Each structure stands twice: as structure tokens, then as C-alpha cells.
Amino acid sequence: MNTKPNPLYHLLALGIVVVWGTTFVSTKILLNQGLSPQEIFFYRFLLAYLLMAVYCHRRLFAGSLKDELLLALAGVCGGSLYFYTENTALTYTATNNIALILCIAPLITALLLRFFSPSETTPLSQRFWFGSVIALAGVACVILNGHFVLHLSPKGDLLCLAAALCWGFYTVFVKKLEARYDNLFITRKVFFYGLLTILPLYLCTFQPQDLELLRQPVVFGKLLYLGMVASLLCFLFWNKVLANIDPIQATNYIYLSPVVTAAASFLILSEPLTLIMLLGALLTIGGVYLASAKK
């Protein structure tokens, strides 16, 4: 792993999280338009896979059965299972709950990486734990906006927790593969296995009349954004980030996602931006800096 700090990859990670922070709005709109969680994932990954296959199609399989299995697991954990649990959770619990629970992903990822790849990650320092606690406190301020009450929904909240766990394992699998395969190949295989494993569920619930929804400009536009930008470009660049900076540092930027969501809601939806949300944003940014900084 590259041990020299490179600001470019940190800025790239930040940019990716900015994009991912806006996808909750797009997904919620598509759910309200009548698309199911599996349909949203299937269409966005199908679009991303077809576009990628045009440029990266020469190599079909990994060099060993073990590596092919790791790619399949990455496709399930970072693709079908992650997005299905996250999107389904949106139908059972509040968005605030989901955003807060998903912010556990950096901590889960850090623990999994230290357990499965201790030689490839930096030790978890007191600074990391202190910064993580501050970032989580900031996230809670942004999401709850001073109303410190969570409306618990066990089914939705557990699905969201499963999504955070999936993302942690996805990072572990990609980290094990990056030394032997290029970024384009890994990303294309992740899309392929994500599509393959969600296909049975998609076919079981598919209705021909659902295709009519794709003709609606708002539906097609949101799927295009989710497929080309949030999936194709962001997954490519995220895997590149994981190959060039410590994956624990990279994952810590996920704490900023609710801050981006709050800002987007203020700018696009004219939702109020309060002082406590601004305080939360400052705490989150400061916590991420502390948790990500080298000793």
C-alpha cells in the first residue's frame, strides 16, 4: 500500500461521498414513483455494467478460483446485498435512522480490516477512536436537528445495520484483490456479480407494466444519475482511492454523507438549515480530520 499521503486521493474520496450523499434523495423519489428496491438496484447497475463492458471486456475471469470467489463476494456485499438492504430499509424506517446507522460503517470497516488484513492497515490509535466519537456526535446533530428522538423500526434498522456490515466486508474483499488486478476489472466484476445475484429477486417481482415507469423523465433521469455517476464513476474512483490511501481513512469520509444530504436539502429542497445542524457539520468535519490524520 502507498504510505505517502496524497491529497488528491483524499479530495477524490470527499467528492465521491458528496455524490453518494445525494443518492438518498434520488432513491426515495424512485421508490415514491413505484419502483421496488431491487428494480432500482438492477437498472442502475445494469446501466453501469453495460457502459463499463464497452471499455473493459477482454479479461473474463480472475487468475484463480479463490480470486473469482472473492470478486463474487465483493459483488454481493458491495452490490446486490448492500443496496437491497439499504433501499428496502427506506420503506420501513425513517431516513434519519438510516443515515445515522450507516455512519457505523467506518467503525465496522476499521475493525474488519484490522482483523482480516492487519498488515495492510494502520493500527487503530486513540486519535482514531476520539475522532470517530466526535464525528458520530456531529452526524447525530445533523440528522436529528436538535430533536433527539429516534423512531425505532427494528426491521428497517436491522436491514440498515446489515448494509453497513456489507460495506465493511466489501472493502476487505477489494483490498485483498487490488494487488493482483486492475481497478477496471475489479469494478466490472463487482457490477456483474451484483447483477447476477439480484436477478432472481428482480424476475420474481417483475411486472411488464413496470417498464412504463422508465419512460417518465424523472425516473429515467434519476436512474441515469444513479447508474452513470453514483455507480459507474464513483465505484471506479472509490476502488482507486482504496488502492492509494489507507482504507480506514477513506471510509471515514462516509461520516460526511449526512452533512452533504442536509446541505443538498437546503439548497435544492429549501429545507431549513439550523444552527445545531451547522454545529453538527463542524463536529463531523473535525472528527473526520482527527480520525483520518496520521500520527
C-alpha cell at 146: 436538535
For the chain, the domains span 7-292
pLDDT in tens, the chain (295 residues): 444 557 889 899 999 988 988 887 788 789 889 998 889 999 999 999 998 888 777 888 999 999 999 999 999 999 999 989 988 887 776 665 666 677 778 888 888 888 887 766 667 778 878 887 887 787 777 666 655 555 556 777 788 889 989 999 999 999 899 889 988 899 999 999 999 999 999 998 888 877 889 999 999 999 999 999 999 999 999 999 988 888 878 888 887 777 777 777 677 656 666 777 677 777 877 777 777 665 5
Alpha helices in the chain (DSSP H): 7-33, 37-55, 65-75, 81-89, 95-102, 105-116, 126-144, 154-177, 183-205, 217-224, 234-244, 247-252, 257-268, 275-292
Query: How many residues can be counted in the chain?
Result: 295
The pLDDT of residue 2? 46
The pTM score is 0.80
The pLDDT of residue 219? 94
Tell me the residue type at 159. Answer: L
The pLDDT of residue 151? 54
Handedness of CA 154, 159, 160, 165 (dihedral sign): positive
The pLDDT of residue 148? 52
The pLDDT of residue 257? 78
| Environment class of 154 (CB within 10 Å of its CB; exposed 0-12, middle 13-18, buried 19+) | exposed
